[in-house]
Amino acid sequence: MLQSKLFSKSTREFPKDEESLNAKLLIRAGFIRKISAGVYAYLPLGLRVLQNINNIVREEMNALGAEELLMPALIPKAIWEKSARWDVDIAYKIKDEGSSEYGLGWTHEEVITEIATHNIFSYSDLPRAVYQIQTKFRKEPRAKSGILRGREFTMKDLYSFHVSEGDLDVYYKKVIESYKKIFNRLSLNAKVVEAGGGLFTKNITHEFQVISDSGEDVIYFCDKCNFAQNKEIAKVVAGDNCPSCGKDKIGKTQAIEVANVFRQGTKYSEAFGLNIKDEGGKSSPVWHGSYGIGISRIMGTLVEVYNDARGIIWPEAVAPFRVHLIALGLKNQDKCQEIYNALQEKGIEVLYDERSEVSVGEKFADADLIGIPLRAVVSDKTGDKIEIKHRNSTEVKLVTLSELIKSF
């Protein structure tokens, strides 16, 4: 991509109506644009990051044997009433004259269970797991955390159906392992934390929490073992001995919830009449789990975790491009064009700053702000080599084009 052709422009000024660091940096660097509180457009740079996150999540969901589908946002009142979740504060309602009443989808347990009643009839149809990557709507009273807490946001939600509680438990643990793999691939150090079920379930659930001062959650945890609990349910305080291993004091921190997993049990199956017959013809409700990952929230979390005074530092796996190629001086543009073509031929995604009217200082400031992992500069000083620098390092190095290509 040529930088002069990029739809979004970076800007020096911090947006005045944003409190959160993720929104400030993402808006300045041209990844997102605020449309109203908690509602953002993802500009081409931002959509590239979202799609990279989607691809990783999709690969791991497929590896779990789950099938992708797509459910609607317009969910009729009658469906919400079956599970007694029509009257929740979080749901946007449409009550237009001459229209049916809808609650915009803030989660999809109801819809998927309704669909499952047409596709699951017997124990031989189980287990089944389906997921979607879809837009959710939630009437958030405070929407001041940028894309960490949107009124409209992208979520991956997985739903599983099982013949028994035991089978659900086994799958629940598999999903936790899959989520660990996902956060590992995303370079996010996410703790598995015990929590309550909120509007979802009365069972103990698990959240994936990334330690960050911007987080709205408070967790208690032990550094020596896996013990971690959300403040909502914690029976410890900071400084207690760890009740699990006893080897360390309990710490307390703010954290961002990036995912959660729920054993719903038979609640929704009973509400929608999702029953199966066993081999003897006896009917019983299906066991059900639901598992969410906040896709756009992950993008915001990565910015909160990976940044410095100059801008964003994207991890390799989600960066909008892999190389930021910069031409300094008009007479180096031909050489740069060759490098650009060679990288693209090899399938290495590159943003090429070929702008001639922009100063060296501005080009470097833009590169640091946008945060592509590798900067590659061609100038009068680089001779027949290319000066490379990783965004998260100060070390510069001269390499040949073939060395650069080999490094991927």
Q: How far is CA 376 from CA 136, 323, 337, 358, in A?
A: 39, 7, 13, 17
Could you tell me the smallest distance in angstroms from the CB atom of residue 9 to a copy of itself? 5
- For position 16 contacting a copy of itself by CB under 8 A, the verdict is no
The residue among 34 and 231 lying less far from a copy of itself, judged by its C-beta, is 34
Residue 287 binds a copy of itself (CB under 8 A) = no
CB of 32 to a copy of itself, least distance (A): 10
Task: Please list the alpha-helical segments (H only) found in 255-332.
Answer: 267-272, 295-305
* 278 lies in the site for a copy of itself, by CB under 8 A: no
Instruction: Tell me the closest approach of the beta carbon of residue 358 to a copy of itself, in angstroms.
Output: 12
Which of 191, 297 has the CB closer to a copy of itself? 297
Contacts (CB under 8 A) with a copy of itself, residues 124-163: 128, 130, 135, 137, 139, 141, 151-152
Taking the CB of residue 41, how many other CB atoms lie within 10 A of it? 11
Answer for which of 14, 19, 63, 119 binds a copy of itself (CB under 8 A) is: 119
345 binds a copy of itself (CB under 8 A): no
Of residues 306-325, those binding a copy of itself (CB under 8 A): none
Which of 34-42, 197-205, 231-239, 283-291 is the region at the interface with a copy of itself (rule: CB under 8 A)?
A: 34-42
The verdict on 79 binding a copy of itself (CB under 8 A) reads yes
Among 12, 16, 17, 96, binds a copy of itself (CB under 8 A): 96
Q: Measure the CA dihedral 336/337/343/344, to 10°.
A: 150
Structure tokens at 171: 């799958």
**5/282 with CB nearer a copy of itself:** 5
> Which range binds a copy of itself by CB under 8 A, 69-77, 178-186, 232-240, 256-264?
69-77
Q: Give residues 38-57 in contact with a copy of itself (rule: CB under 8 A).
A: 39-44, 46-47, 50
**Cβ distance to a copy of itself smaller for residue 215 or 294:** 294
In angstroms, the first-to-last Cα distance of the chain is: 18
13, 70, 309, 361: residue in contact with a copy of itself (rule CB under 8 A): 70
The whole-angstrom separation of Cα 385 and Cα 378 is 8
Helix (H) or strand (E) holding 133: strand 128-137
Which residues ranging from 195 to 254 are in contact with a copy of itself (CB under 8 A)? none
Apex CA 275: angle with CA 269 and CA 279, to 5°? 145
Question: Is the CB of 279 or the CB of 380 nearer to a copy of itself?
Answer: 279
- 3-class secondary structure per residue, 318-383: CCCCCEEEEECCHHHHHHHHHHHHHHHHCCCCEEEECCCCCCHHHHHHHHHHHCCCEEEEECCCCC
Number of residues that bind a copy of itself (CB under 8 A): 55
Question: Token match 């691809």: residue?
Answer: 55
Alpha-carbon gap, residue 174 to 388, rounded angstroms = 41
Among 100, 203, 241, 392, which residue sits at the site for a copy of itself (rule: CB under 8 A)? 100
Task: Calculate the CA dihedral of residues 151, 154, 155, 156 and round it to 10 degrees.
Answer: 170
Distance CA 132, CA 74 (A): 15
Tokens read off for 369: 């702000």
Q: Is 291 in the site for a copy of itself (CB under 8 A)?
A: no
Q: Which is nearer to a copy of itself, 233 or 348 (CB)?
A: 348
Beta-carbon contacts of residue 292 (< 8 Å; ≥ 6 apart): 107, 155, 156, 157, 158, 259, 260, 261
How far, in Å, CA of 229 to CA of 220, rounded? Answer: 5
Whether the CB-CB separation of 386 and 339 falls below 8 Å is answered with yes
Q: Is 53 or 228 the residue whose CB approaches a copy of itself more closely?
A: 53
- Nearer Cβ to a copy of itself, position 111 or 326? 111
Kindly list the residues in this chain that would bind a copy of itself in the complex (CB under 8 A): 5-9, 11, 30, 33, 35-37, 39-44, 46-47, 50, 65, 67-76, 79, 92-96, 98-100, 102, 104, 111, 114-115, 118-119, 128, 130, 135, 137, 139, 141, 151-152
